[in-house]
Chain A
Amino acid sequence: MELSGDDIVTQFLKDEGVEYIFGYPGGAVLHIYDALFRQEAVKHILVRHEQGATHAADGYARSTGKPGVVLVTSGPGATNAVTGIATAYLDSIPLVVITGQVTSAFIGSDAFQEVDSVGITRPCVKHNFLVKDVKDLAITLKKAFHVATTGRPGPVVVDIPKDITDPNIKIPYEYPESIELRSYKPVIEVQSSQIDKAVDALLSAKRPMIYSGGGSVLSNASNELRTFTRQLGYPITQTLMGLGAYPEPDPLNVGMLGMHGTYEANMAMHDCDVLLAVGARFDDRVTGELEKFCPDAKIIHIDIDPSSISKNVHVDIPINGDVKTVLGELSNAITASKRLPDEKALKNWWKQIKEWAAKDCLRYDNNSALIKPQFVIEKLYEITGGDAFITSDVGQHQMFAAQFYKFDEPRRWINSGGLGTMGFGLPAAIGTQLAHPNDTVACITGEASIQMCIQELATAFQYSTPIKVVNLNNRYMGMVRQWQEFFYESRYSQSYVEALPDFVKLAEAYGHIGMQIEKPEDVEAALKEAFAMKDRLVFMDFITDQKENVYPMIAAGKGHHEMHERELA
C-alpha cells in the first residue's frame, strides 16, 4: 500500500488498535487532521485546551491500561500539552503524544509556532522522537507505542514536521507488527536467589507489612496481590497511586499510608520488622522524614525499574522485575517452602494494629450544621455502591476521596499523585467515561482545581459524557489554607478564591445541569437525583465547611509515628 505521511499516521493508529485520539488542530498538523477527516476508524475527541487532551488521554489510559493518544500542533500546542505529559510521566502512565512541528527546513529559524518540542519535553518523557524522514514515520510510531507501554510505562512524544505529512509524497506502507530495540530490553528475568531470600525474610517476620503502590495497578497484578496477601494473612497498606489493587473493604487492608494515611497504617509502617514494597517508589509523601522511616525493618522491594530501588531508602533485598510475575513467583515459592508465617507473632501484631485502628483516625464531626466534605464522599460511596470510576483534582478533596471512597478494584481511582496537577480531574473523567460508556464516572474536585480546566465542560457536552462533578466548594484552596493555618499562623495569603463564578449557571451555560447544595440534610437526596440522570453531566456544587482539615497529617520532617490527629470535642 502506498500512502502519504498524513495517511500513514491515521492508518498506523488504526492498525495499532487506537480507538480514540484526543487533540486540537493547528497549522503544523493540518495534513494529519485532513487525513483524520478521510477515515472513521480512529475517533477524534476535540478538547478545548491541549492540557485537557493529555489529561483525557491519561484518564483513558489509567482506566483501561491501554495507551492514551494525543495529537497537538507545534509551538503553543506542544507547550500546553507539557503539564499533561509531566503528569503522566510522574505516575508512569503510557501516553503517545504526537506533536506537529514546523517544516523541516524551518526548524531552528524561530519560525511561526516553532518551539523545540523534543527539547522542552525531554525531562518529562520516557523517550521522545523527531521524525526526519517520512520513511521512518511508521516505525517511529511503533517504537513510541512499544516504549510507552512496556517496562515501566510512561509518555512518549513523537514530533512530526509538517513536510513529513505532505499528502503529495507517497511511500510504501506496511504496519510494523513488532519491534526490537537493542538499547531497550523491558522484559526482566527475575533472579530466583532474590525470591528465596525474600521468602525467608517474609516467613521469619514477626511484624510484617506489605506496602503496595501504583506498580501493582500498572502491572495488572491485582489478583496476584490478593492471593499473595491472603496466603500470608499479613497487613497491607496502599499508596495514593495503588488504591484498589487490593480491595479496601477487607480485613487485611489497613488503609492508605503516608502524609494523610491512617494512624494504623503509618504506625504499622514505623514498627514493622519486615517491609515488602510492591511497585512503590518511597515517595516523600509516603515516607515522611527518611531518617525516621521504618527504623527496624528489613526492606524487600519489587520494582520493574532498577533505578527506583534504593533511590530514597536503602533496600536489603531488591527484586527487579514485573510486579505481577514476581508476586506469582513469591506465592509459589512460599507454598513450595512448606513453611508458615509465625502465627503467634502475627496474632500479637494484628492485636496491636487493631488497637491503633480503634483510634478511628478518620472520624469527623458529623453533627455539624455545615456540609463536611467527608460526609459527601461517604454518601457518594454509598449511592454509587462503591462501583464508580472516581477521578479527582488535587488538594483536600483528593485526600478526602482517597480516605473515604473505598476502592475494591484497580483502575477505578484516577488522580494525579506524583505531579499533583490541579485541573486533571475533569478531562481525565472525560477520557474515562469514553472508555467506559456504561459505567458511572464521578469527578471529585474543588472550586479552585475545577477552574483550571473548566473549559472541558464544553468537550463533555460535545461528546455527551454524563460525568457527575462533585465540587467540594469551601471557597479556599483548601490544602493551601490548611498549611497556612498549621505552619504560617493562619496567614491565608492568596488562598481565598474570591469572585467565584456561579457554578450552577456556569454548568448550565455549557449545556449541563447545575445544582447547589448547602445543607447536610440535602446531600443524599441531591446525589441520588444527580446519579439518577444517566445521560447528563450534572455539576453538584456542595458548599462545604471552610475550616475543615485533612487528618491525620504527618508534617514535614516528621516520621510515621508523629502524626497530627484530629481533636474532636
Chain B
Amino acid sequence: MNNKELVLQKLKENFSDINFETTDYLDELTVKFPRDSVVKICEFLKSDPALEFLLCEDITAIDWAKRKDRFTVVYHIYSIKNNFRLRLKADVDESECSIDSVTSVWKGANWQERETYDMYGIKFNNHPDLRRMYMPEDFEYYPLRKDFPLMGIPGSIPLPKK
C-alpha cells in the first residue's frame, strides 16, 4: 500500500461521518474537508503512529473573489517518517471568515496563521496571539485580498512629516 492509499484509508476509517473530497494532481494528494473538523483531523494525522505528520510546512489561503465560499485555507504538512507531503484544504466563507487554529497541534503554525490573518483577514479561533505580522497594528485592510488595490489605499499608512 502506498502512502496516498494509506492516508486516505486511515482518514476514512477514523472519520466515517466526514465527507472528504480528494484530488490527486501531479502526484500530489489534496484532501478537502469542512472547516469545523480541521483540528481533530490534524490531531489525528499528527498522532497516528503509521502517519506521523510532524511538520507543518505552510499555512496560507486563497481568495476566490466571487465564489460563494470566498476563501480556502491551505495547509501543507509533511511526514518525516514516510517522506510524504499532504495538502489539506478547508473552505471559509466571508460572512464567518474564521477557522479553528491548529496551534494546539503544531506550535509552528502560530506565525503562519498570523500571516494568513494579516494578509486575508481570516480569524483563527483559539489562536494564542493573533496579531498582525507585517502590516502596522492599526492598519484596517487585508492586502492579499483580490479587492485590495496594488498600490494600496492612499493615506491608510501615514508617513512621517517632512
Partners in one complex: no
**A: which residues have CB within 8 A of B?**
none
